[in-house]
Amino acid sequence: MSTHDITVTVNGQTHAAEVESRLLLVHFIRENLRLTGTHIGCDTSHCGACTVIVDGRPVKSCTMFAVQADGRAVRTVEGLEVAGALHPVQAGFKEEHGLQCGYCTPGMMMTATALLESNASPSEGEIRQAISGNLCRCTGYVNIVKAIQHAAATIRATKTETPARGVAAAGQSATTA
């Protein structure tokens, strides 16, 4: 059995672990780190429920090996809320009722977060294009689009008042085996 020592930064915290080559990133996140906000849906890279952000870009964590994340920075849905305050994307989904069953929501929010970090004023078409790799079987996307628009407006409003907040709190560091 081939194993590897990896160090991955997840939501600002550094985690060192010994992993099998074949361990998928989503299993590392859910089982090794017990961060179960990231969901496994189709397990074949279609549905996007497992979407996380790796070095700034959304990826489907069921279609990447944990060993490939060695040295990289991963963000999951647990990293959105900071000090008890909802991220604007989370607040948008709450305000606009952007979910019903909630299964797709973590992946949907990570895709939305990455979109708004590169484009704070997306058109409806750009939003729909960005989330076209995230399937929702409940809401029909209308409220999800509204939720992302709500978040975009919040981010634009706060950007003019305060500096953009960091990706993760600095100085946090923990190690798990």
Contacting residues toward another protein, per CB under 8 A: 1-2, 4, 20-22, 24, 27, 43-46, 48, 51, 57-60, 63-65, 67-68, 111, 123, 125-126, 128-130, 132-134
State which residue, 10 or 25, has the beta carbon closest to another protein: 25
State which residue, 4 or 14, has the beta carbon closest to another protein: 4
State which residue, 36 or 45, has the beta carbon closest to another protein: 45
For the purposes of burial, counting CB atoms within 10 Å of the CB of 13, is it exposed (0-12), middle (13-18) or buried (19 or more)?
middle
The CB-of-135 to another protein minimum distance in angstroms stands at: 9
Distance in angstroms (rounded) separating the CA atoms of residues 177 and 165? 30
The CB-of-68 to another protein minimum distance in angstroms stands at: 7
The CB-of-59 to another protein minimum distance in angstroms stands at: 6
For the purposes of burial, counting CB atoms within 10 Å of the CB of 84, is it exposed (0-12), middle (13-18) or buried (19 or more)?
exposed
Which uninterrupted H or E stretch holds 7?
strand 3-10
Contact present, 169 and 12 (Cβ < 8 Å): yes
The CB-of-53 to another protein minimum distance in angstroms stands at: 10
